[in-house]
Amino acid sequence: MNSRHIGNRVSSTVLLLAGIVCLGTACRVDRRVTVTAHPPELPTQWHGIVSGFLIEWRCAHGLRESIETPPATSVRVALPVGTPSAVIFRPVLATRAAAFEPFPAGALFPSGEHDVVTGEWVDGTAAVVIDRFAAHGVVRYLNAARLFREIRERAGDDPWALDLELIVDRLAAGGFRVTDLRSAATRTVITALPAGSWVSPNPFEQPVRFGPAGGIVTRDLPHGAHPLLNVPSHDVLTTYITHDGTFFHFEASTNCGASTNCGASTNCGASTNAGVIGP
């Protein structure tokens, strides 16, 4: 899955009111409760890269609302009453690296605290899954609290390693079981990287750092797009993996544009590389 982001876009008129964006006009007739939204603490490796959070939720009619806030700054948001709300805390980049999108944190409302929602990195996957169903107005038929709880308990060190496509499919079919919370199939990719600190969009992954000579990194990746951001250059190297195991690298440079290449070179010249990843 491309960056494992599975939310749908809703296309409608933008209503700007008191700093909150509401897509469409139906949200204005919701019953609401105002709560305090606390963003999560930034991972150390994202300091200087992320400038804040875009907090997103949906009204009872499935239309998206959002408000932006700096790190460590709480805001008041009005959430619908009578249906579970997945609140998504999307990191906002301070850089020009458009090809790099950090994975979000998440929260569920209502929860144990009636007037507070606190973003947690471990809840990002569950929030993204629930948000997809909320877009179609069917979230009330799901046991959202159970999904959040089971992912917390069963996902291990990295909830983004779960097979989110499988989870969504089973929930949609009404046949979801906790045994569906399993890791996606992966392939091993070996990549040559130039000097610098290379940061993942996954908050649970630590950066890899190489001196002037660069180095080699080995990663087990599912199908989809997997970017790494170089600090301090802000160049992005993305590894794309297809369902059949074919892969290629794509580099986007803040200085000279983009190219496809085989060794994550910082040169602007374009070359192509594709292959089949070993089992």
End-to-end CA distance of the chain: 19
* Residue ranges covered by each domain of the chain: 2-180, 187-276
Rounded to whole angstroms, the Cα distance separating 227 from 138 reads 32
Burial tier of 23 (Cβ tally within 10 Å: 0-12, 13-18, 19+): buried
Q: What are phi and psi of 161, to 5 degrees?
A: -80, -10
Rounded mean pLDDT, 153-162: 92
Checking if the pLDDT of 258 tops 70, the result is: no
- CA 262 to mean position of chain CA atoms: 26
Beta strands in 4-58, from DSSP E residues, in sequence order: 14-17, 20-23, 32-38, 50-58
Say if CB 40 and CB 121 are below 8 A apart.
Answer: yes
pLDDT in the model for residue 273: 38
What DSSP element (H or E) covers 188?
strand 187-193
pLDDT in the model for residue 24: 42
Checking if the pLDDT of 12 tops 50, the result is: no
Find, among 42, 71, 41, the residue nearest to 54 by Cα.
71
Coil, strand or helix: which one is 26?
helix
Checking if the pLDDT of 63 tops 80, the result is: yes
- Among 34-38, 117-121, 233-237, name the one with the lowest average pLDDT: 233-237
Say if CB 108 and CB 122 are below 8 A apart.
Answer: no
Checking if the pLDDT of 62 tops 90, the result is: no
Is the pLDDT higher at 153 or at 18?
A: 153
Residue pLDDT, tens place only, 65-76:
999 999 999 999
Is the pLDDT higher at 125 or at 233?
A: 125
DSSP code at position 91: E
Average pLDDT, the chain: 80
* Tokens standing for residue 279: 């089992």
Residues 6+ apart with CB under 8 A from 238: 99, 225, 226, 227, 228, 249, 250, 251, 252
* Tokens standing for residue 147: 């999904």
pLDDT in the model for residue 252: 74
Is the pLDDT higher at 238 or at 279?
A: 238
Residue pLDDT, tens place only, 15-44:
222 233 344 444 555 689 999 999 999 999
Checking if the pLDDT of 114 tops 50, the result is: yes
Question: CB 269: neighbour CB atoms within 10 A?
Answer: 8
Coil, strand or helix: which one is 117?
strand
Find, among 219, 158, 152, the residue nearest to 183 by Cα.
158
pLDDT in the model for residue 86: 95
Query: For the whole model, what pTM was predicted?
Result: 0.81
DSSP code at position 183: B
Coil, strand or helix: which one is 80?
strand
pLDDT in the model for residue 61: 79
Find, among 47, 100, 111, the residue nearest to 230 by Cα.
100
Residue pLDDT, tens place only, 175-234:
889 999 999 999 999 999 999 999 999 999 999 999 999 999 999 999 999 999 999 888
